[in-house]
Amino acid sequence: MQARTAIQSYLGILERSGASRSTRRQREWALNQALTAAALHRIHGDVPTEEQVRDTLPEQVFAAGQRIDVTEIIGEDFAGWFLPWAATGILAQTQGAARSQAASRARAAALRALALAQGSTPITHTEPAVQLRTPTPMNARALRQVAFGLVAIDPPSKAAIRLSAMLAIMITTPLRPIDLCDMTLEDVRIGTDGSVSIPALPLPPDVPAPAGYTGRALMEPALGHLLESWIETRQILVSKLQGSAPKTLWVSVRASPTDDGTIRPAGLPLHPRGLERSYVGQAKNFNAELRAGSRGSLPLGRDGVPVSHLPLSFDHLRRSLLTLEEGAQVPLSGPGR
């Protein structure tokens, strides 16, 4: 039976049994979250990231939800990833919402009740705690080596130049993919002395700006050169477009087909989902080269913990940089252009 139909049937049974309005609303909320999660999983082929949740269109989620069978959301496998994932508040409409133990209990209870209504064995998961992937030992020192290593091949690919510039920005101020994709050429300021500054990591809304805070971050000279190299490459890409060139800093490096069969040329604005996909693809290739020994080992991370790979998620990389403090000063010098 289609999951959406099964949910509506169960809610009808709940109402006829005399359940309170608050209980019915809670069950409806929890089961709709489960259906949304299953649809996102089907669209992306894995547990959805925060960026994927944010960037997937509602009509895509609805269409995918129409193809979900109820058995897909009442089993142990689904509950095993959905309950801890939803407990992070990733589907909440407002920041910080739906992360309580009460919300976790409500989701688990709703899945058990729906399973019973379908005559299936209910799940055993209860009240899952928030579980996020542990940040890696990745630090700015190791990420510098990756950024410069990407463009060490002569000539480097356009995608490698773009990623090296993104990593240079992440070393300076760990931004989210959506923040990166919102950047424009005007956000990059190159001084007469060759200095390069970019927007700083946004402050939380409840944190007052410290003294001297300008909202800008100054890049190290060598990292600034990586960004300038991308700007030069970007100019070549957008110069081939017809009409007005996009103002966004990050653009696609190759043509790509759309769902209707038309071809999107290179040089068009890059969106968060495309940024994440591109990063994951290049990170997998880089990690494979590390394992094969065709690239030198990365420097040690914090407390001497080996850094053996690039995280396979831009958000995971960002959290690693935010969470793990540097064990020593990062040198301000670096490879030249």
Domain ranges for the chain: 3-117, 140-323
* CATH of 140-323 given 1.10.357, 3.40.710, 1.10.1760, 1.10.443: 1.10.443
Q: What is the mean pLDDT of residues 253-264?
A: 79
Q: How much is the pLDDT for 328?
A: 37
Q: What is the pTM of this model?
A: 0.61
Tens digits of per-residue pLDDT, 20-77? 888 888 999 999 999 999 999 999 888 888 889 989 999 999 999 999 999 999 988 8
pLDDT digits (tens, 9 = 90+) for 198-252: 999 877 767 788 888 889 999 999 999 999 999 999 999 999 998 888 999 999 9
User: Pairing state of beta strands 196-199 and 256-257?
Assistant: unpaired
Mean pLDDT of the 80-94 span: 83
| DSSP helix/strand/coil, 167 | helix
| pLDDT on residue 334 | 43
Helices (H), ranges, the chain: 3-16, 21-44, 50-55, 58-65, 76-86, 101-117, 140-150, 158-172, 177-182, 221-238, 272-292, 314-323
In one letter, which amino acid is 170?
M
Instruction: Give CB contacts under 8 A, 24+ apart, made by 100-108.
Output: 101/127, 104/128, 104/129, 106/26, 106/27, 106/29, 106/30, 107/30, 107/33, 107/34, 107/82, 107/83, 108/79, 108/83
Distances (CA, A) of 235 to 160, 191, 258: 16, 19, 24
